[in-house]
Amino acid sequence: MTIKDTAEEWEVRATQTPFVGNKTSVRTDDVVMPDGSVVHRDYQVHPGSVAVLALDDLGRVLVIRQYRHPVRHKLWEIPAGLLDIPGENPLHAAQRELYEEAHVKAEDWRVLTDVFTTPGGCDEAVRIFLARDLSEAEGQRFEVEDEEADMELSRVPVDELVRGVLTGELHNNCLVVGVLSLIAAQHGDGLDALRPAEAPWPARPFEA
């Protein structure tokens, strides 16, 4: 038996969009179940995101601390952002987010993992990149605003982040998945065996 997620789409009899926001919306589908019954499914429609686990030469991960209003927490996270442009190349978006949030560039990029963050209630897909060979970006820093104006930036050893994840002190989805995937890759075939940065992403097809 092959353990692998597969694309599948059940019949939708009707659909409505009761809410449209600035970046996301809420959709209601009438979905036909295997027994022929029809049920309502409400979910958030999301453009998709990218995140960057930036690993420096000392084995530290670049993290930011940012206020997240829905959960009323300041969370330690890895740089991340929305795929604002339909069909946007996720690598280019990740490079932009690393520059804007940390004023850092990287020479070596790999795909660390792809995830659906909350597939029971949202169609958000996130591609998490591994970025290495880091250096300070050129030019002026990107001018941040709103919650990002209060961000803190740090570089934290991987082992310390793993401890924080396993003790329940760190909660951000992309940080948790990224850090544990990094450890798994290091103890598996190695970081150089990860998928190339331009690897296909069926959940969010893009132009090379």
> Annotated active-site positions, please?
148
Q: Residue written as tokens 């690897």?
A: 199
Q: How many CA within 13 A on the CB side of residue 2?
A: 3
The CA distance from 62 to 96, in Å, is 15
The CA distance from 182 to 165, in Å, is 13
Q: Of the candidates 140, 16, 156, which has an alpha carbon nearest to the alpha carbon of residue 78?
A: 156
Helix (H/G/I), strand (E/B), else coil: 51: strand
Contact (CB, 8 A) for 150 and 66 = yes
